[in-house]
């Protein structure tokens, strides 16, 4: 099996804990915790990626911290980013190479921005991608609910074949993990 890493994107206090909370925020965090616990038990590295900006997510501020319900361990990587692309101007690709990962499992916030952009960039870089279909979320928007946004991205991203690597959307409990 291809070496895997789990990427947890932007599950931060200011994005996921502050009201109004994203769609199924509590359940999504429980699924992320179960997924990352299974990953660690299988020897799969886990990275928590945190967005920052000078407006409302300043580095090391209360809102920038990981959401209160997330379970982390000291061995988990923490990667800072400033754009929706978790690879752009970050050490993510070097971290994945260091761990020999060629497959990424992606979960987190926000389905239509940072999750979508990171999935597409990972595939463009040649990584196999598994989107944890029930472990990413978004806030309701004027044009669609958080549930509709998640369903749309599960269907759309999994339908992309032009990168030449698979992108699959699978329920988090069904994702096979191996170091």
pLDDT band at 18 (very low <50, low <70, confident <90, very high): very high
CATH number at 4-174:
3.40.50.850
pLDDT band at 178 (very low <50, low <70, confident <90, very high): confident
Q: In what order do the strands lie in the sheet with 103-109?
A: 77-81, 46-51, 4-9, 103-109, 128-137, 167-170
**CA-closest candidate to residue 7, choices 99, 69, 82:** 99
Scan for tokens 């616990």, then name that residue.
37
Q: Mean pLDDT, to the nearest integer, of 2-30?
A: 96
pLDDT digits (tens, 9 = 90+) for 145-177: 999 999 999 999 999 999 999 999 999 999 999
Does residue 179 register a pLDDT over 60? no
Q: Report domain extents, the chain.
A: 4-174
């Amino acid at each position: 099996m291809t070496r895997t890493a789990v990427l947890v994107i932007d599950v931060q206090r200011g994005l996921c804990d502050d009201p109004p909370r994203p769609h199924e925020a509590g359940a999504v965090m429980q699924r992320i915790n179960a997924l990352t616990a299974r990953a660690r038990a299988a020897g799969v590295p886990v990275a928590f990626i945190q967005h920052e900006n000078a407006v409302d997510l300043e580095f090391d501020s209360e809102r920038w911290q990981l959401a209160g319900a997330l379970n982390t361990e000291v061995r988990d990587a923490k990667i800072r980013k400033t754009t929706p692309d978790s690879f752009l101007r970050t050490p993510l690709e070097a971290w994945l190479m260091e761990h020999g990962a060629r497959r990424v499992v992606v979960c987190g916030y926000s389905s239509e921005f940072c999750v979508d952009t990171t999935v597409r960039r990972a595939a463009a870089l040649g990584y196999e991608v598994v989107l944890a279909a029930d472990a990413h979320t978004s806030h309701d928007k004027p044009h669609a609910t958080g549930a509709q946004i998640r369903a749309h991205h599960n269907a759309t991203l999994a339908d992309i074949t032009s990168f030449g690597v698979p992108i699959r959307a699978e329920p988090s409990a069904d994702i096979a993990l191996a170091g």
